[in-house]
Amino acid sequence: MQQCRVGTAHVVALEEHSGCPFALRISADASPMAQFDFQQKDRSLELTHAELKDLAAAASGLIRMLDEDQRKYGGQVSVVMLTRETILRTAKNFSWDRMMPKWTVIVDGIELPARPLVLEAAGVPPNDPTNSHRAVAKLKSLGFDTRYQGKSV
């Protein structure tokens, strides 16, 4: 039996010959920058050698497509893919020591600057082309209370 670990995914080859079954186990990602933490327990999938090759090719194609989108659109692809859970997780460790901007968001009862929080959650630099209006729109779509100069909008 052979094992390979990539992040929180484990691939186990049960036998060492072509066409053998593989078990792919994906664990919940507990890292602080996890993008997908929706699963409550480990999942597993048994695959043949051909199915594993197809899965790897599909994943490679998806990575290539995301890389091209990242080059084409900058960080906006990351901002579009943000989840409510990612914002909540980022807000727990987010600190802001500057003057509060006009656009803010309430997360767990704390008022935070909208655009800087979104950029931090997306993992993009402060010079990202995402403007405050786009950040507020994303936060509103995720169900957060957004404010302009302290008044709910």
Residue 55 CA to residue 10 CA, distance in Å, equals 14
Q: Does position 9 have pLDDT exceeding 60, yes or no?
A: no
C-alpha distance from residue 140 to each of 7, 31, 37, 134, 153 (Å) = 32, 26, 21, 10, 9
Give me the DSSP letters along 44-113. EEEE-HHHHHHHHHHHHHHHHHHHHHHHHHTTHHHHHT--HHHHHHHHHH----S---SEEEEETTEEEE
Query: Which of 73, 95, 117 is the last residue before a domain boundary?
Result: 73
43-97, pLDDT tens digit by residue?
666 777 778 788 888 888 877 877 776 666 666 668 888 999 999 999 999 999 9
Please check whether residues 44 and 83 belong to one and the same domain.
no
Using an 8 Å Cβ cutoff, are 115 and 130 in contact? Answer: yes
The residue segments making up the domain with residue 148 are 76-152
Question: Domain boundary residue among 38, 73, 108?
Answer: 73
Listed ranges 3-12, 40-49, 103-112; the one with the highest mean pLDDT: 103-112
Determine the pLDDT at residue 76: 64
pLDDT tops 50 at residue 16: no
- So what's the pLDDT on residue 17? 46
68 and 8 together in one domain: yes
Considering the domain architecture, whether residues 12 and 25 belong to the same structural domain is answered as: yes
Please give the torsion angle defined by the CA atoms of residues 96, 99, 104 and 110, in that order, rounded to the nearest 10 degrees.
50
One domain for residues 113 and 137: yes
Q: Please enumerate in sequence order all residues whose Cβ is within 8 A of that of 99, keeping only pairs 6 or more positions apart, or say none.
A: none
Pair (92, 145) in one structural domain:
yes
The reply to whether 55 and 87 lie within a common domain is no
Q: 112 and 144, same structural domain?
A: yes
